[in-house]
Amino acid sequence: MSFSRRRRWSGYVQTLAVSALALACAACQGVDNNLLKPSGEAQTAPVVGQSFTDYVGSSHFRLDTVLGGVGASEYMGGYSAAEAAAMRAPFQWGPNPELCAGEKAAGTGKAFLLVHGLTDSPYVLRNVAASLQAAYPCSQGRALLLPGHGTVPGDSLEMTYTEWQEAFRYGIGSFKADPDPVAGAPAQLYLVGFSTGTSLMLDYMHRHHEAAGQPRQDNVAGMILLSPAVQASSGLAFLTPMIRHVKSWMSVYPERDAARYESFSFNAGAEFYHLTREMNDPVYAPTVPVLMAVSADDTTIDPRAARRLFCASEVKRRLMVWYPSVDGDVNKDVAADAALQCDGIVEVPLASFPADMRTLNISHVGVAGSPADPHYGLDGRYRNCKELDDDKTRAEFEQCVSQNDKTVYGENPDLLKKQANLDGRQVRRGTFNPDYPALEKRMVCLVDENCALQ
C-alpha cells in the first residue's frame, strides 16, 4: 500500500475512532465498568465429545456464576441474575412421549439447530423454537450459545469468529455423535438462524457444499434465516479490524436487557466482518430449501445483500418474506434493481399490521419475535429505548420506557421522524414482529415437504 493510501486509511481510522469515542461515551453515565472487562469465565466452544445435556448444564452454571458475581443488576423488568442466566443459556427439547406413539407422529425424524446473533443469546429464538416444537412435537431441537456471549459484554473483546464456527460444527455434529436417547439421530436437520447465526449457516453450507437437490451426509434439509446477515449495513465495516486496536467500544450503554448485551465492541464488529467479508459472492447462495425474512429498513445488516443472495439461489423450494421500507423512495430503488427481482418473494405491506401493535416498520431485532413474548413482546418487560438512555435525554427515555400510549415501535428513529407523524411519541426499537403469526405458518410449512410454500 502506498504512503498516501496508508495516510488516507489512517485518517479514516482516526476519524472513526474519535466518532466512536463520542458515541460510546454518549450513554456512559451509570455504566458499570466492571461489565466492560473480560470476566475470565467467558463462554467457550464445547469440548469435543461433550454431550449436549452436559453442555447446556455447564453453560448455565457458568452464566449463573458470572452474572451472580457482578453485583446488583439494572435489568429492565426487575429480573434477577439467576433469571437472566436462564434466559441466556443454551437449551434443547426432545420428542413429547405423550404425542409420539405412532410412526407418523408430527416431527418424527426431524431436528432443529438454532443459532442466535451477535451480542444476543438463545432467547432471541425462543418464540421460533416454541412454534416449531408445537407444530412438530416429535422433533428434537438444540440451541447454541456462541462463545463470548451470555456473560458480560467485556467477554466480547476477546471472542473470535473461528470459535463461533467451532461451536457451530459441534452443534451440527451433536445430533449424530450424541443422539437423542428416544428419537435417535434425525433423518432431516433444519438450520434456524438469526442474524450472525445465519452467517454461520451460510458459511458452513459453503464449506460443505453440495449441489441443490443432492443428498447431504449431515442430513441438512433446509434453512430458516431470520434477518440474514450477509454483510453489515455500514460500508465502513471493513475498518473495524483496525479500529479495535485503538478503541474497544463502538457503543456503551447500561446493561438493562436481561437476555443480551446492550454495549457493542469493535472486536465483535471486526469478527463479524471477517466471517462475512466474502459472503456477497453467489457461491454462498442456499442449496437447500430456504425461508428468509428481512426488513428493508434493517439498520444492522444490508437487506439488499440478503435479497440478492436469495435470488442467486437455484433451489426450487424457497421463499423470502420482505418487509418493505417506510420510505417510498427506498421501495422504488429496490423495485428498479433487476438483481433484486426473482420468484419466491412475498412482500408484507406495513399497512397490514394491526393498529394496536403501534408498529411503523420492522426492525432487525424484531423479525423473530412474537408480540406475545413476555420480555420482548408488545409492551413487554423490556423496552428498547437505549439510544435515549442518557442524562441529556432522561425525560424522553422515561417517556419511552414507561408511557405505552406515547410510544411507537420501529427501526431508525431519524427515518421515522421524516416519514411518519410521530406527534410527540417516542420510538422504541422494535423487538417483535406484528406479522409473526403468518411468519410462523411459513416456517412450519417449510419443514413440511407436502406444504405449498407461499
Mode of pairing for the β-strands spanning 188-194 and 110-115 = parallel
With 50 as the cut, is the pLDDT of residue 9 above it?
A: no
Report residue 24 as a C-alpha cell.
Answer: 460510546
> 96: closest CA among 142, 138, 53, 143?
138
pLDDT of residue 237: 87
With 70 as the cut, is the pLDDT of residue 188 above it?
A: yes
With 60 as the cut, is the pLDDT of residue 82 above it?
A: yes
Q: Please report, as a single letter, which amino acid is at residue 384.
A: N
pLDDT of residue 20: 47
- Using CA atoms, how far residue 323 sits from 36, 141, 226, 347, in Å, is 35, 28, 12, 6
For the chain, which residues make up each domain, given as ranges?
Answer: 3-352
Per-residue pLDDT of 406-425, as tens digits, reads: 999 999 999 999 998 899 99
What counts of helices (H) and strands (E) characterise the chain? 13, 12
**Chain CA centroid to CA 392, Å:** 30
Report residue 422 as a C-alpha cell.
Answer: 410521530
> E strands of 266-374, at which residues?
290-295, 318-323, 345-347
First to last CA, the chain: 50
> E strands of 169-219, at which residues?
188-194
Per-residue pLDDT of 25-79, as tens digits, reads: 444 556 778 899 999 999 999 998 999 999 999 999 999 999 999 876 789 999 9
Per-residue pLDDT of 301-347, as tens digits, reads: 999 999 999 999 999 999 999 999 999 999 999 999 999 999 999 99
Per-residue pLDDT of 131-183, as tens digits, reads: 999 999 999 999 999 999 999 999 999 999 999 999 999 999 999 999 988 88
* CATH of 3-352 given 1.20.140.10, 3.40.50.1820, 3.40.190.10, 3.30.1330.10: 3.40.50.1820
pLDDT of residue 27: 47
pLDDT of residue 100: 86
pLDDT of residue 290: 99
pLDDT of residue 6: 42
Please report the DSSP string for 400-428 in residue order.
HHH-GGGEEEES-HHHHHHHS--TTPEEE
pLDDT of residue 4: 41
Q: For 57-61, which contacts have Cβ atoms below 8 Å and span 24 or more sequence positions?
A: 59/89, 59/90, 59/145, 59/150, 60/85, 60/86, 60/89, 60/90
- Using CA atoms, how far residue 267 sits from 24, 232, 235, 323, in Å, is 14, 14, 17, 30
Q: Report the SS3 class of residue 193.
A: strand
Sheet of 318-323: strand order equals 91-93, 140-144, 110-115, 188-194, 220-226, 290-295, 318-323, 345-347
Per-residue pLDDT of 234-264, as tens digits, reads: 888 889 999 999 999 999 999 999 999 999 9
Report residue 195 as a C-alpha cell.
Answer: 442474524
With 60 as the cut, is the pLDDT of residue 13 above it?
A: no
**Please, which pLDDT band fits residue 195 given cuts at 50, 70 and 90?**
very high
